[in-house]
Amino acid sequence: WNYHVTHFVTSAPDIRHLPADNGIEVAFAGRSNAGKSSALNTLTNQKNLARTSKTPGRTQLINLFQVAEGARLVDLPGYGYAEVPEEMKLKWQRALGEYLQKRECLQGLVVLMDIRHPMKDLDQQMIEWAVQSQIPVLVLLTKADKLASGARKSQLNMVREASLAFMGDVQVEIFSSLKKIGVDKLRQKLDSWFSP
């Protein structure tokens, strides 16, 4: 699959406004600032693909990108924003859960976590929802360039160990948009999900 031709299709305020539930979707989730937009831009080799999701007021939207006919990347709203009111947070957590549990065309979930602060409560919640729905998960430990190689490896081992507790198909890899680490692993995983 050629991810470089990916283009923006539409935004949806909630799962009821998503396009028809057919074809294949792969979703990207992560805490705000985890490096999700950078990863999408790196994958697709586009400077501004995921910029739409950063425009103030649009951060709470689900953004859909098309790789090819019937193959979509879904940029889920970042979670864990400190400044968002509690009520809004709960509303969005419910919406994310609903998407992960009910979207039939969802074939895989990529969860991005800053390698220095992995597996926060909501990260674990995302993985749990996916595993419950038998959706395979790829955890990317982002900004790996921020750690020296020893610390990088020990974080990777620690998160791999922790991921066993989910009793599901959860793969963990290191990633850096800055240094282009893990991009091939991401592509391979997406290829496998888009070609079942």
Binding interface with ligand GDP (CB under 6 A): 30, 32-38, 78, 142-143, 145-146, 176-178
Please report how close the Cβ of residue 37 comes to ligand GDP at its closest, in angstroms.
3
What is the identity of the amino acid at 94? R
Q: Apex CA 50: angle with CA 89 and CA 71, to 5°?
A: 95
Helix axes 86-102, 121-132, angle to 10 degrees: 30
Task: For residue 171, give the 3-state DSSP assignment.
Answer: strand
Return the number of the residue (82 or 164) whose C-beta is nearest ligand GDP: 82
Of 12 and 68, nearer to ligand GDP (C-beta) is 12
Element holding 7 (H helix, E strand): strand 7-12
In angstroms, rounded to a whole number, what is the distance separating the alpha carbons of residues 181 and 91? 34
- The least distance separating ligand GDP from the CB of residue 31, rounded to whole angstroms, comes to 7
Name 11's bridge partners.
Answer: 63
Supply the minimum distance, in Å, between the C-beta of residue 103 and ligand GDP.
21
Least distance (Å) between residue 13 CB and ligand GDP: 19
Q: Which is nearer to ligand GDP, 69 or 121 (CB)?
A: 121
- What three-state secondary structure class fits 159? helix
Could you give phi then psi for residue 115, rounded to 5 degrees?
-60, -20
Nearer to ligand GDP, 30 or 136 (CB): 30
Rounded-to-10 torsion of CA 109, 114, 118, 122: -60
Q: Smaller CB distance to ligand GDP: residue 170 or 174?
A: 174
Q: How far is the CB of 82 from ligand GDP (least distance, A)?
A: 13
